[in-house]
Chains A and B, each alone.
Chain A
């Protein structure tokens, strides 16, 4: 396929290029309604999408399917193709007609991703599992579009630890994301850990998460470092469904990173808790643009949202846009947002105990981040994320037992006996 200017494409030309299928037709129609993102698009208001849209991209195309290696517990997707799979995980690669596309996504690039993506990698969980999903990018400067779909059967409990490796793919644009379907009574814990450097690939990850009756989704995203990247998430909550979404952002340099989300309460008694913490240094820009929408059918909804940001220096920039859109009176909804600096009283307290100012600042920043890291249930993940944050923050990790441990009783008891 010839290189293409995204900004100049129309749904018609895309259909021509890509052939038609019912889901592609839906995607094309929705894309036409939403229009290609511009500086004025609400979802990309703070992101600076235009240079990406104006760029002359060569789309990365893969040859026929690669060999799939068997792995311990890692699913590896390299440049949009599955290259490794653990035993027992069912993966199908099929065209996007196989999945039920979201007809009301707010993000035009969700649809563009589907249009450009040759097929959808569908991962299905029929039983409880803990897996690592690695996205590996190797091709610099190209546009890579691929979509994944994740299915959880009823009553399953699955943890997915999602990682990104793309040191070689500098300057690439990744249009990806997942369509996630969590069936009745199932629980998905999705942990995303992505650290970028200036000049790395640009991920625009557009997700859609459908949480069925009484199902639970725990979403933890950890975005560290510099560069540009945005995650756009649309969540649909059915009766008694629940989502707990935490987003920790630590951005430096000239980063433009963040989350744009819509949580839609469709069913009654659904619950959402969304927390964002943003630490911004140097010239970084953090984005938290999150809407909670309660439909007329969403009686007895409980929706709470909170965003906190710390600007470490002048020049750092936080754009926070917490929103409520509510069409029913029987509910509980609130949001709060603060942007500021470290608390002076806390800083003074630490210093009055002899801890130097810089050390005290670091302690408070770590503490600020800890709340979201400590919310991880899996202890190994917790440790990894502590290390990951500290590596991003200090350049090295020097996690000691006491900074993170919650079971020092053992150590204390052990040494007392010595």
Chain B
């Protein structure tokens, strides 16, 4: 077994008064693609929020260890600087914040954290422009306000653009395929696949198996009622397709 990049142990978390995660255990391996599948309301998005330190989620019990460190009490930006990246299911629109300015601030925050020199505007823009082209985004996206007025597909591509610029170590893709047409889905998955380098880990959260045709998973975890109830290889996808989540019982 390869190195474990993240280990989640007996995680209990709630949103408001409602407990959503009820003792979840999960190990993510370095360089592997893990898919979390489960019915609506199982706690998939809550898991991604717990990992990234979202304000809605309160962890009441258990641990999230990332690269050997307990991160439950970390600020969201510290988790990001250490390499955790979440591609949001519904990226928020931020009118008035220029896309390029935002991303350069983020990239330079990370470079500073790594002890690297900050990128100047020109260097940064050169890199960003190339990736924008590669992802098939319109060049004017660079200077538009962050996600404002973007279509569903444009928002997702913008998430992938940020991911490629920030070069994270653990990538969480929350329903990356929702609302994407086939072309957008192809472009987005190509971007993701390019990021695979044998070191970087992926956590693909999805309700449908469609995205897994494009991003081949190494492991499938079934999340139901706040717990991982089954972990298996990619062959489980077919079984789920056929029988649905109802048929999967706790192992």
Q: Do A and B come from one complex?
A: yes
Instruction: Give residues in A with beta carbon < 8 Å to B.
Output: 343-346, 348-357, 359-360, 363-364, 366-371, 374, 400-409, 411-412, 414-416, 418
B128 to chain A, nearest CB (A): 8
Q: Are A354 and B100 in contact (CB under 8 A)?
A: no
Judge whether B95 is part of the interface by a CB distance below 8 angstroms.
yes
Judging by beta carbons under 8 Å apart, are A411 and B122 in contact? yes
Chain B residues near A369 (CB, 8 Å)? 96
Q: Which of A349, A357, A401, A411 contacts B92 (CB 8 A)?
A: A349
Contacts of B105 in A (CB 8 A): 355, 359, 363
Q: Is the interface of A mostly helix, strand, loop or mixed?
A: helix
30 CB contacts below 8 A, A to B, read: A349-B94, A350-B102, A351-B80, A352-B52, A352-B86, A353-B77, A353-B85, A354-B80, A354-B110, A354-B113, A354-B166, A355-B77, A355-B102, A355-B105, A356-B109, A359-B105, A359-B109, A366-B97, A367-B97, A367-B145, A371-B96, A374-B96, A401-B121, A405-B143, A409-B139, A411-B121, A411-B125, A415-B126, A416-B129, A418-B122
**Which residues on the A side are within 8 Å of B79 (C-beta)?**
352
User: Does B142 sit at the interface, judged by CB under 8 A?
Assistant: yes
Q: Smallest CB–CB gap between A373 and chain B, Å? A: 9
Residue of B nearest to A349 (CB): B92
Min distance, Cβ A112 to any Cβ of chain B, angstroms: 40
Q: At the interface, yes or no: B98 with Cβ under 8 Å from chain A?
A: yes
- Tell me whether A349 and B142 are in contact (CB under 8 A): no
Nearest CB of chain A from residue B85's CB, rounded to whole Å: 8
Interface string of B101-114 (1 = CB under 8 A from A): 11111100110010
Interface-centre pick from A352, A412, A414 (highest chain B CB count, 10 A): A352
B92 / chain A contacts, CB cutoff of 8 Å: 343, 345-346, 348-349
| 1/0 contact string of B162-177 vs chain A (CB within 8 Å) | 1000100000000000
For A362, the closest partner residue in chain B by CB is B105
A353 to B123, CA, bound (A): 20
Whole-angstrom distance from the CB of B78 to the nearest CB of chain A? Answer: 8
Least CB distance from A121 to B in Å reads 38
Contacting residues, chain A, for B54 (C-beta < 8 A): 348
CB neighbours (8 Å) of B62 from chain A are none
B188 at the interface (CB under 8 A from A): no
Q: Which residue numbers of B lie inside 8 Å of A, CB to CB?
A: 52-55, 75-77, 79-81, 85-86, 88, 91-92, 94-98, 100-106, 109-110, 113, 121-123, 125-126, 129, 139, 142-143, 145, 162, 166
Residue of A nearest to B112 (CB): A354
- Chain A residues near B101 (CB, 8 Å)? 400, 402-403
Known contacts: A403-B98, A411-B122, A415-B126. The answer to whether A351 contacts B76 by CB under 8 A is yes
For A359, give the chain B residue with the smallest CB separation. B105
Given contacts A348-B76, A351-B77, A354-B110, contact A408 B94 (CB under 8 A): no
Q: How far is the CA of A404 from the CA of B166 in the complex (A)?
A: 23
9 closest Cβ pairs, A-B complex: A367-B96, A354-B80, A415-B122, A351-B76, A370-B96, A353-B106, A402-B101, A367-B97, A351-B77
Q: Kindly list chain B residues whose C-beta atoms are within 8 Å of the C-beta of A414.
A: 122
Least CB distance from A169 to B in Å reads 35
Nearest CB of A to B121, in Å: 6
For B109, what are the chain A residues with a Cβ–Cβ distance below 8 Å?
354-356, 359
Give the nearest-CB partner of A418 in chain B: B122
Contact yes or no, B129 A412, CB < 8 A: yes
Residues of B within 8 A of A370 (CB): 96
Q: Which residues of B contact A343 (CB under 8 A)?
A: 92
Which of B95, B96, B125 is the one whose CB lies under 8 Å from A408?
B125
Chain B residues with CB under 8 Å of A374's CB are 96
Measured between alpha carbons, how far is A403 from B96 in the docked complex, in Å? Answer: 9
A residues within 8 A CB of B53?
A: 352
